[in-house]
Amino acid sequence: MISETCIAPVNIAVIKYWGKRDEELILPINSSLSMTLSTDQMCAKTTAAASATFKENRMWLNGEEVPFEGNPRMQKCLDALKRLAEAEKSKRFPLEWKLHICSENNFPTAAGLASSAAGYACLVYTLANLYGVEKSELSSIARQGSGSACRSIYGGFVEWVAGIKNDGSDSIAIQVQPALHWPEMRVLILVVNDSRKKTSSTNGMLNSVNTSDLIKHRANVCVPQRILQIKEAIARKDFKTFGEITMRDSNQFHAICLDTYPPCAYMNDTSHAIVNFIHQYNETRGDVKVAYTFDAGPNACLYLLEEEVANVLSLLNKVFPNDNSENSEYVKGIPIDLQKV
Ligand code: PMV
């Protein structure tokens, strides 16, 4: 038997990916940009083993067996990696050997906390190590598991370039700034609700593309401008601009969810109370000091600099005593790359 174990970090988008132009290849209608978080508090860990004695491919997620052969996305990632192994004449073990894969997230799965991003990035990275293949194509393979997973292949600030080609060969993630470019940056994750989301991002996106008018304006006009502006803000470490663009983009993404017919509402009353709290906080401080962003769920991700963390946390504990004390997690936003363990 031969096995490998890897861990992969989550990434939290500041310019959101929402909507596909190709469902099969998972090609987005707009580029997106995220920061990859350090792995100690929020990560996926995957062990993959191959053996001549395994009768079939099997997979366990958080201790429970999940269908492998019946999961087309998983199958697509595995097939792509096996093709790479074949092309590179990798000789670690015969390609017909079956696999057993164990994956765990140390944070709520499918609650809008980027679990699929870390999960698929980890799966692809672990299998690439197992088969002993080159790492250059991993972002496009991870993309075919879950779109946002392609960004978790790199540390730091990462752009997923939408691309224009039909075969998806130019729809890849690239690192915009390395992990230590902005070492003072932090993220606070406030877990408002850790149950599974009602509308999966796959279904939500499909409905938005089919029914929202606003989504076209966002993809064609707003996002291209914002990507340029936020990349400049990151390069000059301009938190005010970074924060404002982040909040505007989150708000517009959720406006599209409401412009979808029937609408999908991912944020709840607590999420909106957090939005108000942050705007009040920034007003009191006379500048943008904290920025919120919400994925396809009610949980808040707050971007802020280290110098602001203690103050914001103590106020959050006062304003949201029950929601905050047990569940919220403080995740250090100093990113690192994927690791073999
Ligand atoms: O990768 P998916 O299919 O889980 O989509 C994720 C979409 C958002 O999290 C809402 C935004 C993003 O860019 O991560």
Domains and CATH numbers, the chain: 2-180 (3.30.230.10), 185-331 (3.30.70.890)
CA nearest ligand 1 atom 10, residue: 295
Closest atom of ligand 1 to 15 CA is: 13
| DSSP letters for 4-29 | EEEEEE-EEEEE----EEETTTTEES
Which residues lie across from 11 on neighbouring strands? 36
- Asked whether the beta carbons of 27 and 6 are under 8 A apart, the reply is no
> Cα of 175 to ligand 1 centre, how many Å?
18
- Show the CA angle centred on residue 283, arms to residues 322 and 185, nearest 5°: 70
Which of 17, 21, 29 should be mutated for ligand 1, with most atoms under 8 A from CB?
Answer: 17
ipTM of the complex: 0.99
The enclosing H or E element of 252 equals: helix 239-259
Phi-psi region of 3 (alpha: psi -120 to 50; beta: other; left: phi over 0): beta
The pTM score is: 0.91
- Residue 33 CA to ligand 1 centre (angstroms): 11
| Tens of pLDDT, residue by residue, the chain (341 residues) | 999 999 988 899 999 999 999 999 999 999 999 999 875 667 889 999 999 999 999 999 999 999 988 889 999 999 999 999 999 888 899 999 999 999 998 776 545 566 678 899 999 999 999 999 987 789 999 999 999 999 999 989 999 999 999 999 999 999 999 888 998 999 888 888 766 667 899 999 999 999 999 999 999 999 999 999 999 999 999 999 999 999 999 999 999 999 999 999 999 999 999 999 999 999 999 999 999 999 999 989 999 999 999 999 999 988 987 644 444 444 444 444 445 55
Q: Is 250 in the pocket of ligand 1 (CB under 6 A)?
A: no
